[in-house]
Structure 1
C-alpha cells in the first residue's frame, strides 16, 4: 500500500513536471521541443523513492492522456502520447524509477547522481523517444537521431549537472520530511 507521504510527493512532482513544461523552446527543424520537463524527471528520480518517482510521472502521463493540458505547450490527449514526442513522455516514469532505484543504495555524490541522470534521463529517454519519433513520422532512424537527440545533448548535460547539484542539496530535506511523516 502506498503511504500518504508518497502520494503527496508523487503529486508534487507531477505538478513540478507540468510547471516545467512552461519552459518550451520549439526547434524549427524538429517536432521535439526543448523543455524543462526532463529536469523534473531527473529530480523526481533523484529525490523520491522508486515507487514515488515512477508514480509521479505516471500521474503526469495519465493526466495528459485523458486530455488535461499538462504536456509542454499546454497540450494534452492520447494523441500526444502516440505522436512524435510520445516516446519521450512515456519513458519518463521508467526513467525516474530507474534513477531512483540506481541511486537508492549508492553513496550520494555528484558523479553517481550525474551518471544515473545521463544513463536514464538522457540515453534511455532518447532511445525510446527517437524510436517512436522515427516510427510515427516515417523518418529514417539516423535522421530521427539527428533531430530528436543530438540537438538536445548539450542542454540535457547542463540540466543533469544542475539537477545533480540540487539533488545533493535537497535530498536531506526530502529525507527529513519522509522520516517525520513515518
Structure 2
C-alpha cells in the first residue's frame, strides 16, 4: 500500500468511527472496557506495595485516542462500574466496591479522567495527533490525571488502615516503580495515535 492509500484508508476508518450510530459507539465503548479488563490481568506484583504493575493503563490511554472524549471516557466508566457491580476484571481478577475503596481505587477514578482528557485533545486538535505532541498529552494524562487521584486514594487507604504513609513512602509505593513501564506505555499509545489517527 502506498502512502496516499494509507492516509486515505486511515481517514476513512476514522470518519466511519466518528459517524457510527450511538448503538455502535456504545458497543465500541463496551469492547474497550473489556480490553481494559483483559489488559488488567497482565500484572507484575511488587512485594513492598499493594499497587501492582499492570498493562491496563495502555488500554486506558488508547481509549481516549480511539473513541474520543465521550465514548472513551464512557468505556472507562463502564470498566469501573461493571467491575464494582459483577465482573471481576480488575487486576488479579478482582472486583466489587472494596476495590474502589482499596489501595488502587484512586487510580480507577484517574482512568476515567485521563481518558476524557486525551479524547478531548484528540477531538479538538487534529494537529496534536502526531507522535511528539500526543506523547506529551498522554504523559500529562498519565502522570498527573491518573497518579494524583491514585496517590490520594492510596494515602487515604493507608490512613484508614491505621498506617498512614509519608510522602516518600507514598511515592515509593505508588509512583516510582511504575515510571519506566509507564514511559513505554505512553510511547506505545503515542505510536497508536501516529499510525491510526488522521492529522487533518
TM-score, normalising length: structure 2: 0.81
Q: Distance in 1 between matches of 2:52 and 2:179?
A: 13
Q: Distance in 2 between matches of 1:76 and 1:49?
A: 26
> 1:44-66: per-residue Cα shift (whole Å, max 9, x none)?
01111211011000000001111
How far apart are 1:168 and its partner, in Å? 2.1
Which residue of the partner structure matches residue 152 of structure 2?
131
Aligned: 1:116 with 2:116: no
Give 1:156's match in structure 2, choosing from 179, 182, 185. 182
CA RMSD of aligned residues (A): 1.3
Q: Distance in 2 between matches of 1:3 and 1:67?
A: 25
Q: Quick check: 1:130–1:141 contact (8 Å CA) kept in 2?
A: no
Q: Distance in 1 between matches of 2:166 and 2:86?
A: 30
How far apart are 1:145 and its partner, in Å? 1.3
Structure 1 unaligned regions, length at least 5: 173-182
Aligned: 1:141 with 2:160: no
* 1:33-182 alignment, distance < 5 Å: 33-106=52-125, 107=127, 108-137=129-158, 138-171=164-197
How far apart are 1:139 and its partner, in Å? 1.6
How far apart are 1:140 and its partner, in Å? 2.1
Q: Distance in 2 between matches of 1:122 and 1:70?
A: 23
Structure 2 unaligned regions, length at least 5: 1-20, 159-163
Q: 1:5 to 1:171 in 2, by over 3 A?
A: farther
How far apart are 1:152 and its partner, in Å? 0.5
Task: Identify which range, 9-18 or 102-111, moves more after superposition.
Answer: 102-111
Task: Identify which range, 80-89 or 160-169, moves more after superposition.
Answer: 160-169
Q: Distance in 2 between matches of 1:9 and 1:16?
A: 10
SS of structure 1 residue aligned to 2:50 = strand
* 1:6-21 alignment, distance < 5 Å: 6-21=25-40
Runs of 4+ residues deviating >4 angstroms = none
Larger gyration radius, structure 1 or structure 2: 2
TM-score, normalising length: structure 1: 0.89
How far apart are 1:141 and its partner, in Å? 3.1
Q: Distance in 1 between matches of 2:194 and 2:27?
A: 21
